[in-house]
Chains A and B, each alone.
Chain A
């Protein structure tokens, strides 16, 4: 059974159609890549999945339940978690504090206003363990604004993982990261539980072919083709789209 699915998902801003009847499925353990040229509606699709945008028509299902009307926070509580293409971190706080905030939210501790945070060593310890897991301990005590960009991208991932997702949406996680570091990040994602479903938006084809077991190509808000990576690589339509794209670069 699919974990996350969309049925005829449609979104328009006036005349501009940004999601045009997208059908999509993601099962437990899937490693699915979403690719497409700039402006294909990839991030819009993620925003529709997370609830940041409300669709004009169609449905989003999680665990077979209709979550189309649910808010962003409620979807997160059900295990649908995202990262951002452009870092969305707490710049003034340290790396450990950033992750501790995410842990506190997941465990419902963030609505407690009478117990001092320092007495919640459980939150701090869990955050610290995650930093060890992602090899971020060297910057644990550094304010995020002073942390190198590559490590900030890693922290983006850490904040999502702290929520113990069941479905993880990665919006260009390796954007702007040198390939040595992007490998580290993908290894961290690959090491995650086999029940976890991952949807990765990615421009770097090396990353896509290394990581994904299935690929969806989005063009103009429509699914152009879906399939295994090697099928996609051979697909004439996809090559046409991407060759046109690469000539623009």
Chain B
């Protein structure tokens, strides 16, 4: 016999909670974006002129 399907829907969020979740998501996106920018900058600076103008 099959068990009755369980309702797994998340409880409805209040507008307040939805707004805060959106702000958290934006903050995480900014943090990850900053990390990407940092690694990109580190790469460019370390390669830097050595690649553009290698020692003769």
Q: Do A and B bind each other?
A: no
Residues of B within 8 A of A (CB): none
